[in-house]
Chains A and B, each alone.
Chain A
Amino acid sequence: MDTFIPNEYEVVRNAEYCIGCRVCERQCANSVHKFDNDLGKMIADSSKCVNCHRCVCLCHTHAIKIVKSDDVYRVNANWSMQTMNEVYRQANSGGVLLSSMGNPNDYPKYFDKILVNASQVTNPSIDPLREPMETCVYLGKKDAEIKRDNQGRLIDTLAPQLKLNMPIMFSAMSYGSISYNAHESLARAAEELGIFYNTGEGGLHKDFYKYGNNTIVQVASGRFGVHADYLAAAAAIEIKMGQGAKPGIGGHLPGIKISDDVSKTRMIPKGVDAISPAPHHDIYSIEDLRQLIYTLKEATDYRKPIIVKIAAVHNVAAIASGVARSGADIIAIDGFRGGTGAAPTRIRDNVGIPIELALARVDERLRQEGIRDSVSVVVAGSIHSSADVVKAIALGADACYIGTAALLALGCHLCRSCHTGKCNWGIATQRPDLVKRLNPDIGYKRLVNLITAWNHEIKEMMGGMGLNSIEALRGNRLMLRGVGLNDAELKVLGIRHAGEDM
């Protein structure tokens, strides 16, 4: 009695080009392709295709393309085919709709409606190839009092800092949601770039302790893999209060994904669901959050910055103000377009607010309250390019987290099927035959390439503005102008419309 749901995509094979080498068949974990002995040719079952483009990329003769199916329901501007199919899926199964990666819907992308300034004639621009440009940032509390001992020497009262060679880090993605080889690629790239990657709430694999100086470890409500050595290994500790893709919702890694190795890293038995409920059940207030922050500081002798990650929600500015006063060294804010290995579709697509607006309000609020220096601000949730990084910093961020862009560098084609665990690119899977497709020797270099290129672009844009230090860009909203934004949006962003002068 299940309603048939037509294929979203069709696999089209050019018979003239196909040489029947069967690479597509071997590469597809969804069993789309097979050789039909009776027909003597390759055939494809498009109903199984997730459009990950693995077969397209690996076909030597370029015989395959994936096209959007032109099969349509009766055209209806109110009920889209996707919406109708979702109703059918739920009527078929009774299940909560589950999706992966960030919100794909057509909400405004504010970064694309903000333009950056450049110098002309006066205040000349700077050529980053010729002159030193500083993109190094330090994350942590900067509100130290200047104190001297009785000899007049400075006493170091500065809280611990994270030094980043460039204002970009890899967002939290757990081992379990992504593969061993993906983690190794991120860790090695972070080390080479002088930045940080984040373990997510999946614990730290013993092989990756050696990258500890470039590792942020996460403590979430389930406390998976959290123990003394894990805290000691990291450069910083992140308390996960929320995630942009699913604000107010917890996580659960289904037992089927808890392989031997994932079980060891999370320190839970194999095959048992790993449940991280939405709230930490010991945190119901800023005071309670302070308590968790201080247990972590006590456990690491006040040597490591503590990050508190929250999702961008309606009252984010007031929440961030509380977090800044809770003793956190760094606040990470994740916007509503942030990625995920699995989230209920309705939550992902309907809850939270855009990171650009959240960031602008948080920075403004912390400044108004005179506590901007007591915390660093890191933003996440669809940072697509170096231009987005520049705009985020000008809106007041200290640094950005990137997740999806990093996965794209590793081969991800955004088919948004991570939750099935059958990632053909070896990223969001634990199946050994798939994981080995991602070669970390190549993966880490691709990440290094990406971030190095972005860093150069950041320097060029800074140079264009006549700035030679990222410090001079932070919160410098006069460098930004909006296009096509209404008064409310401009007011929240704290920027002027293009064409309005200083």
Chain B
Amino acid sequence: MLDINNLSLSYGTQKVLKNLTISLQKGEIGCILGPSGCGKTTLLRAIAGFKSVQVGSISVNDIVVSDAAYKMPVAKRKIGVVFQDFALFPHMNVLKNVAYGLSKLSKSEALKLAQEAIELVGLNDAKSKYPHELSGGQQQRVAIARAIAPKPDLLLLDEPFSSLDPDLRERLSSEIRSIIKQQNITALLITHDQTEAFAMADKIGVLHHQQCRQWGTAYDLYHEPATEFIADFVGEGVFIPVQVVAYENDKESKIEASDEKLLWLETQLGRFLLPQEYIDNAMFKVGDTAKMLVRPDDLRHQDESVLKAKVVGRSFRGAYILYRLSLKEGEPLLCLAPSHHDHKIGESFGIHLEVEHVICFPN
């Protein structure tokens, strides 16, 4: 549905985006996640047609809308945009705002489509109100209704929830997601807020240094991050130092010493087998130092463990408490423990590291 192929964008001589390739199927919601100033708004403007493309191409519905030689006019693209500041027309009421993009249709048809869109976002009672009479959340709904009323092929959302308070943000994002899903609209959202990305998107791309290093599901991004930046940017976690050592048969491990190439990762928190794909890529050899990603949920609270850590910080999160723990040496670790394990700062408790996906980066 949306295919972006090897896209590069620049402002004057300054490159803002390099070799971006992503695609979305019909009905999928994609998200470009990145810190502010990483070029994600530029990407959105290029897809909408406000900005021309230097290298690569953008296709919607298998039709090229932008490449180095051609730029389809904005109005012809059948793309809806929800702007960061909503950009509602202050001199028009809700109905007129939503019907704005339908002026080429007959009056009755336009009215019907506008009504439908307003109903969809649940603003039937506010139809004749003006933007300044609406709350932030309502304005957001009007902006969505206006963007989807002309039944666009693709919906773009520019930091759609950034101006709302966090509570409303979460409620509205899941609601908007269900509307988009229900209408089977293909949508691309850009944001710097990962909870928003996780709540809304089927596929997420993280932009860093003008490049998108990974395009995948929220699960992939969190548990199998492709780069150190993504590992750090998405979710919480710390890196612990590891030493790569040769495999030797030991009693604890149940693996047979048949494979010569196996490697151990030696850490303060125990030994872990280096996953096969790292060995296949020949990324590490014996004697290397590296760092391993430890998510707060990988570190378990375990009273019987011999490995004790001291609490240096805690933040209560309802069902869980996020502890900052310090071992004898090295950076503090993060541990997400059920909140009935209530420890004060200065106390120690036993921990146990259980990693499902070992993620390792060279130093």
Do A and B form a real pair? no
